[in-house]
Structure 1
Amino acid sequence: MPADTPADDQPIRSVWARPRRGRAQPGLSRDQIVSAAVELLDAEGVEALSMRRLGAALGAGATSLYRHVAGKDELIELVVDRFYGELAVPDPADGAPWRDAVAACARDLRAAALRHPWVVAVHGQAGLSQLGPNLARFSEGVLAVLEAAGFDLVEADRAMSVLLPAVIGMVSSEAAWLSAVRRGGADERDAAERLWAVTQEAMRDHPRLLAVYAAQRGTEPRAVMDAYFDYGLDRLLDGLAARLPAGGAGGAAPARAEGAAGGAD
């Protein structure tokens, strides 16, 4: 049994639910393994990730990796937490209005997901991801911002439980589009224009959809994606603002958000 294999009495098997044990192999660390896994995922996608491929990339046998990571499921937990380590942790002491601070977190999350589109596919497989140190720091910061705005802690936690998956969900189709464009070797605008004839044919029995696509033709795809994301984010924040108790710190938030949205466009 590998040194880090979870014990049989562990209720949920997760890298965060067991102690690290076993002596590290000289020249190889968990941090190196996770870094190599992220590089492999960025270059070749989720399909390429395996302990064997990772071992080859590190010049080590798969057995050596098992001294640090019990298997692919744990590796997914680790790379997802590494992903969250790229995000800036919000701090209510910065003085930004809560709505601006939360919007900045959402946009940071979106940008990171587009840098690492594989995270959309594996995010739901990350087991006890909430126990990862990077996600925990980020979540604590978001909760602090929401609590400072006037939400009680229970409401803040529920708001965060909606916000983070919503952002990942909104990014999913965008990440899939970007991955397809990169595989085809074209830029986004050229790819969209080449698809126009196909789009017309596919939408010929759906006049409303065809009208939407026709109106977007000629617009930079990035601008279209930004507008959809900003719309969804603003509506989420509108809903949260409506939940603030009367006299809460976010009482004037809708007016501030309208100005912020106008600037973003």
Structure 2
Amino acid sequence: MPRDALTREQIVRTAIELLDEEGLDGLNMRALGRRLDSAATAIYWHIKTKEELVRLAGDLLWDEVELPDLATADWRTAATAMATGMHAMLTRHPWLGQAFGSHLLFGPGKARHDDHSLAVYEHAGFVGAEADRAAATVFIFVLGSALGPAAQVSLTRRLGRGGADAEQRLADTMDRTADIARRFPRLRARLDAAGGTRSGADYAAAPESSFAFGLTAILDGFEARLASG
């Protein structure tokens, strides 16, 4: 595809597809060019660097998080919807959470999300810096909750490239992890909870509904703080 037939949006959306499948390490202009049936030089005409491409792709994803109407939703419903939407988006695109630690991410998509998040906590009754702290607390919790699944995707992808040997190394590691865990009473209890069938990965995984539990606890704390004046 010649460079004048490509559009910036087309390049960014195709980059998202590649990132979702291959992760940050799998993104390069040559691989992207193959997907677009275009020379890498044609992509550079629109986007100069990989860093810029990751930033543009990451910012576009924030449009997937629905921003509730504060004229019709109470603050807690709105906060829950935004946090849940962000968590779902980060789970769909696990590379984005990892990119926070390696790329400078900014743009109108994230700014729009952050502005609405502040509005939610101002709507709750927080004022000034307190609204910033409330929004930041939830943001950090959601991001941290999504990092585990993202890391698992990345690890599985990397081991998958190693073939059968990598699969055996993973199985051996899980067995060794479980053996070590059995030295400690609470971890041993978790392993034994399913009749001894749990692996090292199972005991280390967050229990089901952990995200909902944590978010509810944070919002309960906000309500108590607001009620105390």
TM interval, shorter chain, is: 0.7 to 0.9
Is 1:140 matched with 2:111?
no
Gaps in structure 1 of 5+ consecutive residues = 1-23, 185-193, 248-265
SS in 1 for 2:186: helix
SS in 2 for 1:85: helix
Is 1:75 matched with 2:53?
yes
**CA–CA distance in 2 between the matches of 1:202 and 1:81?**
42
**CA–CA distance in 1 between the matches of 2:173 and 2:193?**
15
**CA–CA distance in 2 between the matches of 1:197 and 1:181?**
17
The alignment yields a C-alpha RMSD, in angstroms, of: 3.1
The corresponding residue for 2:216 is 234
Amino acid at match of 2:28: S
> Is the contact made by 2:145 and 2:211 (CA closer than 8 Å) also made in structure 1?
yes
Is 1:48 matched with 2:26?
yes
Identity %: 40
* Superposition TM-score, scaled by structure 1 size: 0.68
**CA–CA distance in 2 between the matches of 1:218 and 1:90?**
43
Amino acid at match of 2:216: D
Instruction: Provide closer, same or farther for how the CA distance between residues 112 and 197 of structure 1 changes in structure 2, counting only shifts above 3 A.
Output: same
**CA–CA distance in 1 between the matches of 2:131 and 2:226?**
10
* Superposition TM-score, scaled by structure 2 size: 0.78
Aligned ranges for residues 1-16 of structure 1 at < 5 Å?
Answer: none
**CA–CA distance in 2 between the matches of 1:176 and 1:117?**
8
Task: Between the two structures, name the one with larger relative contact order (CA 8 Å, sep ≥ 6).
Answer: 1
1:108 to 85, 91, 94: 85
1:122 to 77, 95, 99: 99
Is 1:152 matched with 2:127?
yes
> Is the contact made by 2:3 and 2:38 (CA closer than 8 Å) also made in structure 1?
no
SS in 1 for 2:71: helix
Q: CA deviation at 1:102?
A: 0.8
Instruction: Provide closer, same or farther for how the CA distance between residues 62 and 243 of structure 1 changes in structure 2, counting only shifts above 3 A.
Output: farther
Higher helix share: 2
SS in 2 for 1:56: helix
Q: How many residues align?
A: 212
> Is the contact made by 2:15 and 2:57 (CA closer than 8 Å) also made in structure 1?
yes
Amino acid at match of 1:148: H
